[in-house]
Structure 1
Amino acid sequence: MPSSDPQPAFVLIRPQMGENIGAAARAMWNFGLDRMRIVDPRDGWPNQKAVVMASGAGRLLDEAQLFEDTPSAIGDCDFVYATTARPRDLTKPIFTPEAAMKDARARIAAGGKVAVLFGPERAGMENDDIARANAIISVPVNPEFASLNLAQCVLLTGYEWRREAVPTDDVTNSAVGEWAEQVEIEKLSEHYEQRLDDAGFFYPEHKAASMKVNLRNLWSRMPLTRADVQMLHGVMRQMVRWKERG
């Protein structure tokens, strides 16, 4: 059964290849979406090529709803977005994928039923289908090559839906060990300062103080873990041992 999470229905209009339907299902499930509706697939339904391509997302194909035309596929929805990269002569609100999924989440939270239309692979969505949508999702692609693969468009839209649900910082660190405490950074700084002083690094003498400040500033700018600190201690110890053996 479909998950209980409130979410939009993704409607594939007259998809041409089973492989693309399967890839779209996989892209949807990557981002926790499982409401797939299929309108008049060219090669019929069910489609074994779609199953193979869907990999671990085959459940979406088993539960996909099949419709003869677009009106019946969106009949129970109160707001519909049509995805297209091409400019159209239809006056409608135009959203980026990010803004559209933010808007969709707000509508669904208020009790609405939302659908997103995706056109066939070869020529994209026809104006007759777009005319039935309330708004357009326009992907800012290269105007000299505006065609998006069906699964790519589904993936992009699904990503923006998921991103609204799981906000993250623009930059994060991958899993690391514990961050080094200031006392550990201080001891590392002292270790390097002492050994570099022994090696005559702080020369000329009148610049030594500022050179030591710069070195301490370097350590403070570096996000070091305890493992990093231990390794850097080891690097210096090995260099000293190597020098003494020489």
Structure 2
Amino acid sequence: MTDPQPAFVLIRPQMGENIGAAARAMWNFGLDRMRLTAPRDGWPNPAANALASGAGRLLDAARLFDTTAEALKDCHYTYATTARPRELTKPVMTPEQAMQDAAARLGRGERVAVMFGPERAGLENADIAQANAIISVPVNPQFPSLNLAQCVLLTAYEWQRVRDDSLRDAFAQPDLATGQEIEALSRHYEDQLDTSGFFYPDHKAESMKLNLRNMWSRMSLTSHDVRMLHGMLRQLVRGRSE
């Protein structure tokens, strides 16, 4: 990648106009890697082009995915934007802090993404559980609602402010696991724990699985860590069956 930058991932966006406005905001600050997950009104959407105002190239190149997991599977670190308090324990950053962190990670060769939720209610907990950190904009607590394109604009602006210095000062780091590797690890443990009866009682199973997935994504696991954890679990299962 000749120009390291975060991918901006719009999760289940509802209005084409907001997608176009988000593309315009991204291109204002040199960002051109947009990903879309399950747009409500389908894709491509003529309304998006009408609001892009010269940033149509971003819409033409936007990558389309069916699920959040698919959109993030090649990423090593993901930030989730949300204004509402969540019960999921994750690092919380301002847009400035997050983009400083993102620039440093990109300089070390990692792939990062920023998730933005749908206009009506924002990201769901199931989406945020797949992120490593939360971006929270310090807005008026009595009126925390931000338009999708406004949130994209704020984050893109902070990216442009910090990118040059952070990328120049970056240094080599271990090979962090991708979202696809973390997802496979999560499924492996979930399947084995399910078989052993860990998810009990039944009415708490989904919440337990969500917390387990959140725990994996909160760790800075390397690809080597993931392989070792797979091997540990396989050995435990093998030893139990002998």
Normalization by structure 1: what TM-score? 0.66
- 112, 116, 119: which is aligned to 2:117? 119
- 79, 82, 86: which is aligned to 2:80? 82
Q: Match of 1:24?
A: 22
Mind listing any 5+ residue stretches in structure 2 that lack a counterpart?
Answer: 166-242
CA distance in 2, matches of 1:16, 1:145: 21
Q: 5 Å matches for 1:155-166?
A: 155-165=153-163
- 133, 137, 140: which is aligned to 2:138? 140
Shift of 1:166: 5.6
Matched, 1:72 2:67: no
Q: Match of 1:5?
A: 3
Consecutive aligned runs of 4 or more in structure 1 exceeding 2 Å deviation: none
| RMSD, matched Cα | 1.1
Q: Match of 1:151?
A: 149
CA distance in 2, matches of 1:141, 1:121: 17
CA distance in 2, matches of 1:145, 1:121: 15
Mind listing any 5+ residue stretches in structure 1 that lack a counterpart?
Answer: 168-246
Letter of the 1:92 counterpart: K
Tell me the alpha carbon deviations over residues 183-212 of structure 1, each in whole angstroms, 9 at most, x when there is no partner. xxxxxxxxxxxxxxxxxxxxxxxxxxxxxx
The higher-RCO structure (CA 8 Å, 6+ apart) is 2
Shift of 1:93: 0.4
Q: Match of 1:47?
A: 45
Tell me the alpha carbon deviations over residues 109-147 of structure 1, each in whole angstroms, 9 at most, x when there is no partner. 000000000000010111110010000001111111111
Q: Match of 1:105?
A: 103
Letter of the 1:43 counterpart: D
CA distance in 1, matches of 2:63, 2:135: 23
Contact 2:17/2:51 (CA < 8 Å) preserved in 1? yes
Letter of the 2:86 counterpart: R
User: % of aligned pairs identical?
Assistant: 73
CA distance in 2, matches of 1:122, 1:142: 18
Larger radius of gyration: 1
Letter of the 1:130 counterpart: I
Letter of the 1:125 counterpart: L
CA distance in 2, matches of 1:113, 1:165: 14
Shift of 1:104: 0.3
Tell me the alpha carbon deviations over residues 48-89 of structure 1, each in whole angstroms, 9 at most, x when there is no partner. 000010010000000000000000000000000000111100
Q: How many residue pairs are counted as aligned between the two chains?
A: 165
